[in-house]
Structure 1
Amino acid sequence: MKTIFNKTSAIILTVICMIALMSSCKKNNDDVIVEGTANLRVVNSVQGSSSQDFYQRDTKLTTSAVAYGESSGYLTAQSGASSVSFRNSGSTTANVSASVGIKANASYTVFYYTNASGTAQLNGFEDDNTAPASGKSKVRFVNVGSALANSINVVAAGGASLTAGLTFGYSSPYSTIDANTALNVNILSSANTTVIPGTTFQSGKIYTIWFDATNTTTASYHVIVQN
């Protein structure tokens, strides 16, 4: 799992910048400034929510509010240390905000979701946009299904496990599969299986599949085509 949206001290961000971005980091007082931009795609995975605007500091990045089940295209954000937030369309009040560190020239998918108690949360995962070989597809999975009683397992048709024990709020690594391969999704200790048809996965394409749920034993899937 690669995650960026954790509350991180300026000291830690300075170390990260020194290691990963030495040519583009500089320190001014206690703030870390990374020169450059990054790409952020935002997803609204909260059932029944208002459409969401996404802000970096007090600048709205989304041109159109994102409804439940939808994702934006890539938005251009400043890299480095800053705050980000989701807000109901037209509102100045944040539903959730976080202090984050964003790598220059990287791409991320950022999720708006809620935990089991209904508290709004956000997290972002770094995207791998390197296309797979011809005849192959690349896919990762994100569990934002707070209603699910247990973790998620995904198995390709033919029996190969793609992810096992994917817990709430986490992303799996990317897996490479043959194009047109169906996937079976089930919840630990549940007999229910959700099938993602093979026609979903085309040659040369990259996918993020995120899961939510309306009950404790069955995952619902949503497909984002990254390229």
Structure 2
Amino acid sequence: MKSKNYAAALAKKGTILLCSVLLLAACKKDKAADPPVVKPSKLALVVSSPGAPELSFFANGTKVTTSKALNYNTVIDYMDLKPGTGEFSFRKKDATDVLAKINYTAKTGVSYTLLVADKSPKAAVVLVEDDLSAPATDKAKVRFVNLSPETTVLDLYVAGKTEAALSKKAFKEASAFVNVDPAVELKFEIKENGKTDVLATLDKFKVEKGKIYTVWVKGLKDATDATKLGVEVMTNK
């Protein structure tokens, strides 16, 4: 009788152990089946097309809702973007005709800035990859973009310096990021390459250690209204 009970107990324990093993295996299988987490790309927008109407932004034909209206001199901070290939396009608000478009390939975890330029009714789109790696020790990083359609090749100077900080950028061209010294009040100056006349300035700009900035030239060289030549800056990070 004892032998029979002992055998039954062993069988019961064996059944429990087998169930535990099967349950553990099932849990491991479910865990292994979880899809990998894909780090999104990031996309910032800059609208710098003098005289352009309010715009709508589309990714692969689907309208993207932005945090504010896309008017001249608007900057939209980084938004998540699904990695892969596709097409960005811009239309006049509530219209169907495409004003400008560009194909893209977005890499996982990489940030980009999409810039709208040229003088309305023309429009051009420029997509640049953003190197958001940390600046050198005790430095900041700056890059320069020429978004003024009526200018020639331009240089970016820090006031008081004899050599350009970044140089020889034609319309729609962007420099790489370079390290610069922090400053409480920095003055940027824009000059035509090889010339000394200052075309536009940005006064009293604070450059902070560890920050990353994009400086661009906007507007029209001969304008005197809100579309006149000027300098703008965004903080990328």
TM-score range, shorter chain: 0.7 to 0.9
The aligned counterpart of 1:10 is none
Q: CA RMSD in A?
A: 2.4
The aligned counterpart of 1:146 is 149
Match 1:68 to one of 72, 91, 95: 72
Deviation at 1:184, TM superposition (A): 2.6
Match 2:210 to one of 185, 204, 225: 204
The aligned counterpart of 2:91 is 87
Q: How has the CA–CA distance of structure 1 residues 100 and 146 changed in structure 2, closer, same or farther, with 3 Å as cutoff?
A: same
The aligned counterpart of 2:219 is 213
The aligned counterpart of 2:118 is 114
Q: Distance in 2 between matches of 1:197 and 1:161?
A: 17
| Contact 1:154–1:162 (CA under 8 A) maintained in structure 2 | yes
Q: Deviations over 1:51-107 (max 9, x none)?
A: 222211122223333211111111222222211101222333321112222222111
Q: Distance in 2 between matches of 1:119 and 1:49?
A: 9
1:80 aligned partner, one-letter code = G
Q: Distance in 2 between matches of 1:199 and 1:103?
A: 32
| Contact 2:47–2:71 (CA under 8 A) maintained in structure 1 | yes
Q: How has the CA–CA distance of structure 1 residues 193 and 65 changed in structure 2, closer, same or farther, with 3 Å as cutoff?
A: closer
Query: Which segments of 5 or more consecutive residues in structure 2 lack a partner in the other structure?
Result: 1-37
Partner SS for 1:214: coil
The aligned counterpart of 1:7 is none
The aligned counterpart of 1:170 is 173
Deviation at 1:216, TM superposition (A): 5.7
- The alignment covers a number of residue pairs equal to 191
1:179 aligned partner, one-letter code = P
The aligned counterpart of 2:108 is 104
1:225 correspondence with 2:235: yes
1:184 correspondence with 2:189: yes
Q: Distance in 1 between matches of 2:229 and 2:206?
A: 17
The aligned counterpart of 1:44 is 47
| Contact 2:115–2:126 (CA under 8 A) maintained in structure 1 | yes
Q: Which has the higher contact order (CA 8 A, sep 6+)?
A: 1
The aligned counterpart of 2:6 is none
Specify which structure has the higher proportion of helix. 2
What TM-score results when the alignment is normalised by the length of structure 2? Answer: 0.71
| Contact 1:187–1:219 (CA under 8 A) maintained in structure 2 | no
Query: Which segments of 5 or more consecutive residues in structure 1 lack a partner in the other structure?
Result: 1-34
Partner SS for 1:200: strand
Question: Percent identity at matched positions?
Answer: 24
1:137 correspondence with 2:140: yes
Deviation at 1:213, TM superposition (A): 3.1
Q: Distance in 2 between matches of 1:83 and 1:36?
A: 20
What TM-score results when the alignment is normalised by the length of structure 1? Answer: 0.74
**Which 4+ residue blocks in structure 1 deviate beyond 4 angstroms?**
216-219
1:79 aligned partner, one-letter code = P
| Contact 1:137–1:201 (CA under 8 A) maintained in structure 2 | yes
Query: Which stretch of structure 1 is more off in the superposition, 178-187 or 138-147?
Result: 178-187
The aligned counterpart of 1:22 is none
Partner SS for 1:90: coil
Query: Which stretch of structure 1 is more off in the superposition, 191-200 or 95-104?
Result: 191-200
Q: How has the CA–CA distance of structure 1 residues 147 and 135 changed in structure 2, closer, same or farther, with 3 Å as cutoff?
A: same
| Contact 2:52–2:72 (CA under 8 A) maintained in structure 1 | yes
Larger radius of gyration: 2
